[in-house]
Structure 1
Amino acid sequence: MQVLQEDSVSHPIASLRNATTSGGEDKLARAAALVSVSNRIRHEDVPRLLDAAGAVIGQLASAETVIRIADTNPDAIWIFSRKGRDRAEGFVATLLLNEAGRIALFDGSLDLLDPQPQYLAAQHESPAIIYVWASYTPGLMAAGIPRVFDRFDSPHYAQTDIVSTSFTLRGHRAMVNRGFEKGVELNGRRLEQFYILKRSPRSLTASEPRYANHDNASHPTGIRVVNGFDDMMRVAAIRSAVFIGEQSCPFDEEFDGNDLAATHLLAFVDNEPAGCMRIRFFGEFAKMERLAVRKEFRKTRTAFDLVHASVDLCRDKGYRRLYGHAREDYLRFWQHFGFKLKENGAPFAFSDHSFVEMVDEIEPSAEAVTMSDGPYRIIRPEGSWHKPGPLERSADRGTV
């Protein structure tokens, strides 16, 4: 089917959101109890439903095409009616696409008015993506939408991304409220017309920056920016073990008063805190420091991953120059990442070790945070500029 100026998906989801946020959870539950949702369609209902939906949405696929999609996979088309009545009053239509279909959807070669059979996943196959093709759920029928999502939360579909489109502010807010993110990446291009609910391990991992890719369930070995005192305690434990325990560094020298004026990265291996890095930001440069990896994890790539992630974070903040102090015996490690001895820099010593100054020149990333990004991105939590934050979501409540 095809969405023109209005995305029909936005209307029922927005209605559902309004019922929930206006003290209406009980109201929504009562409404849902009055709605039947089934993937068993009667062929004679399809033309009438498409005519009614077409008056709201615009041009849609033919009845024959919709029936063909349902015959390929019954979970693709869902019919809504009032309980106790035979007359169908609404529908949610999806395309359950295989991997080739996923690519075709994003590159534009999928015919949305008559989807090619080779792109459709059969009922026994796990689809590569679920595309919300169109929906028409007027009035009370909107209360049945969670029943469709319940089906797509079942084990057969739970790790499949859900994608939709919206061209209205109302639809955008509804998508964000349901957890969708605006924009899809394909071969280095960002497709802003799509909204995606990321659920597949591939999307959850690939979409996250290297400094924000740790997840207890889907990515237990990864890195995240420290945003709370619980993670700060993990950082302190790692540095105490490495610098105070192994290297006999005095407490006041290790915890030097700069920790609360810095950004910290925390690395995990199978959800166990394994290493950390501290970054302090100055006017023209960022300083990399306090790289520490627990002894039992030094044969992993934790140290390399922490440095790569730290450089990426600095690039995403728009920095062009990095600065650091390296112990002379560790200089070769830092040279792997492009660091060079600072011109006219002389060796110096502190905490019973000899150090050298080093610098690296980098380019800000294409997604670097700037003032032109608007207020919402700038107020997102540190290291989470790639996804909506709590203050951004609060805007949906409106103002008093």
Structure 2
Amino acid sequence: MIRQTPSDDLVNKKALQRALSRVKVTNQVDLANVSRLLVQAEAAIGALTSPEVILKVADHNPDSIWLFSRQNAKRPEGFHAFLLLNEKGRRGLLDGTLDLQDPPLDCMVCQGESPALIYVWALYTPGILAAGMETMLDHFASPRYAHVDMISRAATDHGERAMQRLGFVKGCTLDGFAHPDLFILARSSRTVQSLRPRYDSYEPGQHRTGITVVHEISDLMKVAAIRSAVYIGEQSCPYAEEFDGNDFAATHLLAYVDDEPVGCMRLRFFGDFAKLERLAIRKEYRSSRVAFQLVRASVDLCRAKGFRRIYGHARKDLLHFWKHFGFNVKGSATEFDFSGIDFVEMLDEIHPTNDAISLTDSPYRIIRPEGQWSRPGVLEGPMASAS
């Protein structure tokens, strides 16, 4: 893998700035240019609508339609079209009743009003004009728009990769409507939290009860403290059995309640199966649902990584707990004991998620921190969205 260095990042930012300096953008539209651009765009992204509808939308809210050109070009060469939807329009988009070829004006906000949802109607910016998307994202980061979710479709594989580089995530469920084909850039706090998976639901000081993948040594120390209290302190497990040399070769989930670490789970990944182990919940939180949430989050993480089988060791007296999640005693299972406690092998058959990590993903998604595949990572600077 070729990794970007700080100097590379600086070069890329300068390259993006040079590209942006060569691109002009305007929201002054006319029938001749719109008609010509729609014909050109149809070959790349398919038919959108009529020039008259584009002009109608632009007249209703000039923030909706933007034309792009190179600095030395005599006429526009590309365009971005947005539908700035009010609550009625948002609902119509989600339930499928909104006419996207001729959207009614009473479904869109007027200039100066904050929309309920921004729908990326169409993007046609070939070549260097693609850098203009940075200008649009800056525009829609203004106070009027900053906390409004953006939704888009991708007409091509190239468009799908571009959406992912910009931070859009494929597949969303809003207001009970599931849209596996839509891309969403979650920006409202409610949507951001609702779209985050169970294993990435904790945010210090904001979403104070939730679960996170351990990424830092300080968090791994919290895991060690919980397991020491539960297994060494309560069950008299020998230190060498509890800390068996696998902790730095594993993924750990850490559960919080009101910013207090209360439970953990260790996951290890093998060729065609994952293994759950070391589930530990502090004694004072065992009457809560933390254990259930940790197991579900662990299963979700395995599904997101594309696994179809999960293996584990269950205490025989707690096998009923694991059966809640689909686990059963493994065929020809071996029974054994750790520290005088009887265990049995168990297995769960699962299905990968629709957006499970795969080689068809954008390289930017694959290098994101473990469990944070639904949001842009530190390496996704400005050049990531321009490449």
| TM-score, length-scaled by structure 2 | 0.71
Secondary structure class of the residue paired with 1:75: coil
Q: Aligned match of 1:290 in 278, 285, 298?
A: 278
Identity of aligned residues (%): 47
Q: Which amino acid aligns with 1:320?
A: R
CA contact (8 A) 1:345 1:356 kept: no
SS at structure 2 position matched to 1:279: strand
Match of 1:46 among 3, 13, 30: 30
Are the equivalent residues in 2 in contact too, given 1:276–1:292 (CA < 8 A)?
Answer: yes
Q: CA deviation at 1:131?
A: 1.5
| TM-aligned CA deviation for residue 314 of structure 1 | 3.7
2:40 paired residue among 41, 47, 56: 56
Q: Which residue type is aligned with residue 324 of structure 1?
A: H
Q: Give, in angstroms, the shift of residue 358 of structure 1.
A: 5.6
- The answer to whether the Cα contact below 8 Å between 2:210 and 2:256 also exists between their aligned partners in 1 is yes
**Partners of 2:272 and 2:307 within 8 A in 1:** no
Correspondence list, 1:351-362, <5 A: 351=339, 354-357=341-344, 359-362=346-349
What SS class does the counterpart of residue 295 from structure 2 fall into? helix
Determine if contact 1:275/1:292 at 8 Å carries over to the other structure.
Answer: yes
- Residues 210/135 of structure 1: CA separation in 2 closer, same or farther (3 Å cut): closer
Are the counterparts in 2 of residues 213 and 219 from structure 1 also a CA contact under 8 Å?
Answer: yes
Q: In structure 1, which of residues 21, 31, 36 is the aligned counterpart of residue 12 of structure 2? A: 21
Q: 1:138 to 1:326 in 2, by over 3 A?
A: closer
Rounded to whole Å, the distance in 1 between the matches of 2:327 and 2:133 is 54
1:318 has 2:307 as partner: yes
- Listed as ranges, the matches of 1:227-376 within 5 Å are 227-245=215-233, 247=235, 249-281=237-269, 286-295=274-283, 297-316=285-304, 317-320=306-309, 322-326=311-315, 328=317, 330=318, 333-339=321-327, 349-351=337-339, 354-357=341-344, 359-365=346-352, 367=354
Q: CA deviation at 1:277?
A: 0.4
Deviation at 1:342, TM superposition (A): 6.7
Q: Is the 8 A contact 1:37 1:147 kept in 2?
A: no
Q: Distance in 1 between matches of 2:289 and 2:349?
A: 22
Question: Which of 101, 107, 113 does residue 119 from structure 1 map onto?
Answer: 107
Kindly provide the amino acid, as one letter, of the partner of residue 181 in structure 1: V
Mapped contact 2:20–2:132 kept (Cα < 8 A)? no
What is the CA-CA distance between 1:260 and the residue it aligns to?
2.9
C-alpha distance in 2, partners of 1:365/1:350?
Answer: 32
Q: Deviations over 1:131-177 (max 9, x none)?
A: 22245668998776544323322343223222334444554444333
Distance in 2 separating the partners of 1:372 and 1:125: 42
**SS of corresponding position for 1:289:** strand
Q: How much does 1:270 deviate?
A: 4.3
Over residues 66-85 of structure 1, what are the superposed CA-to-partner deviations in whole Å (9 max), with x where a residue is unaligned?
Answer: 454345445334567999xx
Give RMSD over aligned pairs. Answer: 4.8
SS at match of 1:257: coil
TM norm structure 1:
0.69
Aligned-partner SS, 1:157: coil
> Displacement, 1:244?
3.8
**Paired position in structure 1 for 2:137:** 149
- 1:190 alignment partner, one of 180, 191, 195: 180
Residue 199 of structure 2 corresponds to which residue in structure 1? 211
> Where in structure 2 are there 5+ consecutive unaligned residues?
1-9
How far the C-alpha of 1:306 sits from its partner, in A, is 0.2
Partner of 2:64: 76
**Retained in 2: the 8 A contact 1:161–1:197?**
yes
Q: CA deviation at 1:100?
A: 4.8
Aligned to 1:132: 120
CA distance in 1, matches of 2:166, 2:52: 32
Find the counterpart in structure 2 of residue 11 from structure 1: none
Match of 1:5 in 2: none
User: What is the SS of the residue equivalent to 2:34?
Assistant: helix
Deviations 1:12-48 (A, max 9, x none): xxxxxxx98374255356557xx5756xx5xxx4223
Q: In structure 2, give the amino acid aligned to 1:363.
A: I
CA drift of 1:57 comes to 1.6
Tell me by how many angstroms 1:50 deviates. 1.1
Structure 1 residue 224: deviation in Å?
Answer: 2.8
Q: Is the 8 A contact 2:308 2:352 kept in 1?
A: no
SS at match of 2:102: coil
